[in-house]
Amino acid sequence: MRLIAPALHGLFCMAAQASDIPPSATEPAPTDPVADAPARLIFSRDNNAPNACDVELYANQQVVAKLGPGEQTSLDLPSGELGVAVAMSPDGYCGGRGPDVAQSVILRPGETRQFAIMVEPEQVFSRR
């Protein structure tokens, strides 16, 4: 009986060592997102707009979405610097003129940001 306990202990130690993964076989988890991973911008429109006009969302001077009151959209965009602007839609009686000033946004790979689009009687703007 005295010999069985040390023999079993030795077997358990050998089995534990055999199941260990050698350090060369492990891969470290990436700490940063991939350099070319897209960033995500989430835009939501307020429900308390003074009218039912759609708002156009611009990225680098191109219309990328239209939002009505209470709607939201999510855009996957390349990382880096981006010009973002909002304006009332020129459709129908709304008669928007396009964006006045763009807001500069610098996006990191894999980053997610949220913006709220607010509409007031004479202006439309986004805030973080």
Q: Say which CATH number the domain at 67 has.
A: 2.60.40
Q: Minimum mean pLDDT among 29-38, 39-48, 98-107: which range? A: 29-38
pTM, two decimal places: 0.66
Asked whether residue 20 carries a pLDDT value surpassing 60, the answer given is no
Q: Is residue 106 part of a domain?
A: yes
DSSP code for 86:
E
What's residue 109's pLDDT?
93
Q: Is residue 29 part of a domain?
A: no
Number of domains making up the chain: 1
- The span from the CA of 80 to the CA of 91, in Å, is 31
What's residue 119's pLDDT?
83
Q: Is residue 105 part of a domain?
A: yes
What's residue 3's pLDDT?
45
Q: Is residue 16 part of a domain?
A: no
Q: Is residue 13 part of a domain?
A: no
- Structural domain boundaries, residue 51: 39-127
Q: Is residue 72 part of a domain?
A: yes
Q: Is residue 4 part of a domain?
A: no
> What would the pLDDT profile of 73-82 be if each residue is shown by its tens digit?
999 999 999 9
- The span from the CA of 4 to the CA of 10, in Å, is 10
